[in-house]
Amino acid sequence: MRFFKSVRFYHETLMHETLMLINSHVRAECYSNLRNFLKTVRINLNLSRDSYAHLDRMLLELSKGGAIFRKSILWNG
């Protein structure tokens, strides 16, 4: 049960920080916060290197203000 609570916490935090990144004017700071958070998630949830790399690439695209990517998240999310 404890594992699922931590997964939920990580998911909620990741979603919140990602929305901050999408809507923020200080993207570099948000990106840095998210990368640090992902490192913690990777260690605590045993995230694979491929999954981590994929998430990192998505966050980098968002930090650059990728309008197409933002639209796809908003429409599909």
> What is the token pair recorded at 73?
């998240």
Whether residue 37 contacts residue 21, with contact meaning beta carbons closer than 8 Å, is answered with: no
Q: Which residue has the higher pLDDT, 49 or 3?
A: 49
Q: In angstroms, rounded to a whole number, what is the distance separating the alpha carbons of residues 45 and 48?
A: 9
* pLDDT single digits (tens) 14-63: 777 777 766 666 667 777 777 887 787 777 777 788 887 887 787 777 77
